[in-house]
Copies of this chain bind each other. A is one copy, B any other.
Amino acid sequence: MDSTRPIGVFDSGIGGLTVVRALMERLPLERIVYFGDTARVPYGIKSVATIEHFTAQITDFLLQQNVKMLIVACNTMAAVAADVVRQRAGDIPVLDVIEAGARAAVAESRSRSIGVIGTPTTVNSNAYARRIHALDPGVRVYSQACPLFVPLVEEGWLDHPVTRLTAQEYLKPVLAEEVDSLVLGCTHYPLLKPLLREVLGPGVRLVDSAITTAELAAAKLHALGIASSHAGPAGYRFVVTDVPLRFQTIGERFLGRSLGAVEKVEW
């Protein structure tokens, strides 16, 4: 396979840009095509059938862009529709944030008691617990849905009394279970890391699946011999289904740098 082909990364909206950011840092020579379904975001409150249908559409679009690897950078899609992606992808390798997060959590936890936070759909799918138990059946997993974290991040209230109070409320039952690792099971959550560290205290390590996904992608590309070795400037494309108000501001907060030109597709 031609190693100069891009990596396809997709999410229901802009949260997956935290994964792109980690990929840019870990794999600076790779080309990336990012797809964000901003016209239909958020997925976390939708039914499984609808999420599968949307996921299939996005997968087909990225396969048409001739990607060499697909990364499901949306926990909700990874939780309920990863099989849809793998079926359509054929020989193209597929990674997802849940696989990456589960592996990192099992590797890091000493107490073998792991917390997972995510959207209602991700948590109700039980996908993290299943992946973690497939790796180590003896680990205890405590999950908590945090539906307000996404809107709080998008409001930019990253260090705000409302967000702190919300985090205290959501994390109380998780803390009561004495977990030593907490998986950030939603791509929006890495932006809350400083506040979550404060609320959780020093006894709990945060597992940022954006970073762990980039690590897994690097290992997989090298194992398959398709990592880019081209020293030229990497090419980044950002494709969305809608360019709403505040898109640039919020997107750049996630990406940690300028987004440049954004392409909009019409469906």
Contact = CB atoms under 8 A, between A and B. Distances in A.
Nearest to A157: B148
B161 A50 contact: no
A130 interface: no
A134 interface: no
B161 A151 contact: no
Contacts of A150: 151
Contacts of A135: none
Interface stretch (A22-30, A104-112, A243-251): A243-251
A93 interface: no
Interface in A109-162: 120-121, 124, 147-148, 150-152, 154-155, 161-162
A121 B242 CA distance: 14
Interface of A: 38-41, 45-47, 49-50, 120-121, 124, 147-148, 150-152, 154-155, 161-162, 165-166, 169, 241-246
16 contacts: A38-B46, A39-B50, A40-B40, A45-B246, A46-B242, A47-B245, A49-B242, A50-B241, A120-B245, A121-B244, A148-B148, A151-B151, A161-B165, A162-B162, A162-B166, A162-B169
